[in-house]
Amino acid sequence: MTAVDLAPLTGHDVRDAADLHLRAFPRFFLSSLGAPFLREFYAGFVDDPDAVTVVSRNEDGRLLGVVVGTVTPDGFFGRLLRRRGHRMAVAAVRPALRDPRAVGRLLRGIAYRGDVPVAARGALLSSICVDPAAAGGGHGRQLIDTWWRRVRERGVYDAYLSTDADDNDRVNAFYQRAGWTLVGDYATREGRRMNCYAVSVGSTVGSGTRRIDL
């Protein structure tokens, strides 16, 4: 794997993180809201006291991957709404007008507090993405392992995340190989099936010879 530099997300990384997100997830809902919305989303993690973030850069300083999350989901998203909710709403107006069906989902997203209808607790991993050009190089595994270590350094010993259950085998396998356990699944109001994964102190990384890397 190419040598990388691992560091917290900074304000200088926000624009590149948003662009990377668009390349990594071109068909996902957050991407449909556009780069301005994603810049506000990532900027919300930069100075928040409960955010845990990691970015990876190659030797030339180019952003290869980013993972963001929080040790207190309810508090973080409440602050995100108060601090950046207006700018996020303005950024999402034009995309929402192109697809009025997205308005309801956007409103529910704004009200989101990290809650999932399964037994999960602790820190929330909100987003992880790797530059598609660097996929398969182990950067995703390095990011998620570093993020989980930094969560534990904050005195939090459980974490969870959600990802699509359907047509997403590679990503689901990645989380399982990284030692995250499937704890439940649920469906959104749009009928999108989601898997919820969790990890805690004492859990072990999956064994086996086949490793899936983002």
The helix-helix angle for 169-177 and 139-153 (nearest 10°) equals: 50
> pLDDT band for position 134 (50/70/90)?
confident
Phi–psi pair at 9, nearest 5 degrees? -65, 135
Q: Is the pLDDT of residue 49 over 50?
A: yes
29 vs 125: which has the higher pLDDT: 125
pLDDT value at 4 more than 80: no
Give the residue, 204 or 67, on which the prediction is more confident: 67
pTM: 0.86
Task: Specify the pLDDT at position 24.
Answer: 93
Confirm if 158 and 121 have CB atoms less than 8 A apart.
yes
Q: Where are the domains of the chain?
A: 5-200
5-200 falls under which CATH superfamily? Gcn5-related N-acetyltransferase (GNAT) (3.40.630.30)
Provide mean pLDDT across the span 80-84: 89
Question: At 101, is the pLDDT very low, low, confident or very high (cuts 50, 70, 90)?
Answer: low
